[in-house]
């Protein structure tokens, strides 16, 4: 928080911050651990999903007490990585349908009721999942109402041309922006 406040004070223009969760607490997860393969217990609309959505609001509340506001949050960082992750990595697995339902029933309404004007981004994973992921989530009018845009990672970009993923998604859902949110070099161990 002190570093964010220093950066905000030094910037000549507003900084737009976004946050993306890695995992829920162990007691909310199907495997009872913050690490490894696991999902939120239960299903959208239940106490686990509503409580997890409220964690987002509490996060935003606590940062706001320190004059740090977030332009956006994503529903989950790399939701499909939770199916393939190494045992020590913290993540929650979501399918597109599970993310759609969580957004429509829990996270979207919680953000809408909150005093925060924070936008909601979906996917936050590889563009190889587009446009399928967008069709599932944004194809639902309730979920689409809460989603401002799609967060995309670049690691598998060489596999799927942008016309088949980004352009196809933009044509289907032109009112939702596409934003690259994670990228780095050196992520392949053999390079």
Q: Would you please indicate which residues are annotated as catalytic (active-site) residues?
A: 78, 182
Cβ–Cβ < 8 Å for 74, 121: yes
Burial 137-148 (b: 16+ CB within 10 A, else e): bbebeebbebbe
Length of the chain: 191
Sheet (strand 149-153) strand order: 18-19, 72-74, 119-126, 149-153, 177-182
User: From CA 69, how far away is CA 75, in angstroms rounded?
Assistant: 17
Mapping DSSP to helix (H, G, I), strand (E, B) and coil, where does residue 178 land?
strand
Paired strand residues for 151: 123, 179
């Amino acid at each position: 928080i002190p570093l964010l406040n220093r950066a905000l004070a030094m910037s000549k223009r507003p900084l737009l911050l976004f946050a993306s969760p890695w995992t829920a607490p162990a007691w909310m997860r199907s495997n009872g651990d913050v690490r490894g393969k696991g999902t939120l217990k239960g299903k959208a609309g239940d106490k686990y999903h509503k409580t997890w959505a409220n964690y987002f609001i509490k996060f935003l509340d606590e940062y706001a007490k320190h004059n740090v506001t977030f332009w956006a949050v994503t529903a989950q960082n790399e939701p499909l990585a939770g199916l393939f992750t190494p045992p020590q990595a913290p993540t929650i697995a979501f399918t597109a349908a599970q993310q759609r339902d969580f957004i429509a029933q829990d996270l979207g309404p919680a953000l809408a009721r909150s005093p925060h004007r924070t936008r909601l981004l979906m996917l936050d994973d590889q563009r190889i999942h587009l446009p399928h992921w967008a069709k599932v989530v944004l194809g639902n009018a309730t979920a689409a109402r809460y989603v401002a845009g799609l967060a995309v990672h670049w690691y598998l970009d060489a596999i799927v041309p942008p016309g088949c993923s980004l352009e196809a998604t933009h044509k289907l859902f032109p009112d939702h922006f596409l934003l690259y949110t994670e990228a780095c070099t050196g992520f392949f161990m053999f390079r």
